[in-house]
Structure 1
Amino acid sequence: MPRRYQMLRQTVARLADEADAQHAYLESILRHLTPDGDASRYGNDELALELDDIYRAAGHMHEWGEISPEEIEAIRPLGAMLRALSGETHADFWRREALWSDPRWDEIRALAQRALARLPDEERTSSWEPDAD
């Protein structure tokens, strides 16, 4: 099972992926929720929710030596843009077809690629264990 750093890096990498890869990933994790196996009606928000879930642990990860402050800062603009696009006023951004047609997804991918360049693809150890504190 990947450690938290690897999970964070994988999540950023998914946001950096091309639309086809993002769509395939979303289908792979959501298709079981539908009778016909087409999960596109679930939209794209899972990509942002996954980042939000793991990025919340960044401070704790830093405390345990899993991530540097510079790496945390590299991800911050990506998280900020995704948060700014939340809510009903941006509902069109979260529809699956937006992955290919909405230029804001190009901006998200560019921010994710910049962050990913600052996150080395490496195993990181930690003395923290989920039930330790």
Structure 2
Amino acid sequence: MSDLYDNLKRTVEDLAAPADEQEAMLRKARVGPDELALDFDAFAAAALNLVESGELSSEAYEAVRALDAHLVAFSGANNAAEWTEDALYHSSNWATARELASKVLSLMG
């Protein structure tokens, strides 16, 4: 698989990880939860290239788009409380993001 595929999968794995693993990863990197979404977004934007090259199914691509849309839906200054370490544990938005990320992973194989 290409580097793009591997990087997309890695960022989706990070989003699918349990909250405690996400928190540990973020503390180690000294960044906030928004970095999980930003890292994913950088590779999700190019996911169509993976479909065109045959590395990603159209079903997996649609799941990537759904995950991306969900993250965008709770981004922005009005939703700052969603982008805290506490929110990783208690926000239904993060729980849904993990479920969507898990679906992407299952489709990626």
Calculate the TM-score normalised by the size of structure 2: 0.89
1:118 lines up with 2:107 in the alignment:
yes
| Amino acid across the alignment from 1:85 | F
The alpha-carbon deviation at position 29 of structure 1 amounts to 2.1
Please list, as runs of the form range in 1=range in 2, the aligned pairs for 1:1-133 lying within 5 A after superposition: 3-30=3-30, 42-120=31-109
Q: CA-to-partner distance for each residue in 1:56-82, whole Å, 9 max, x for gaps?
A: 111222223322222111212111010
| Amino acid across the alignment from 1:17 | A
Q: Is the 8 A contact 2:74 2:93 kept in 1?
A: no
Separation in 1, partners of 2:17, 2:48: 26
Q: CA-to-partner distance for each residue in 1:87-113, whole Å, 9 max, x for gaps?
A: 111100001211112222111111111
Q: CA-to-partner distance for each residue in 1:29-79, whole Å, 9 max, x for gaps?
A: 22xxxxxxxxxxx43100000110001111222223322222111212111
CA RMSD of aligned residues (A): 1.5
- Identical pairs, percent: 40
Decide which structure has greater helix share: 2
Where does structure 1 lack aligned partners over 5 or more consecutive residues?
31-41, 121-133
Aligned length: 108
Structure possessing the higher radius of gyration over alpha carbons:
1
Separation in 1, partners of 2:91, 2:82: 7
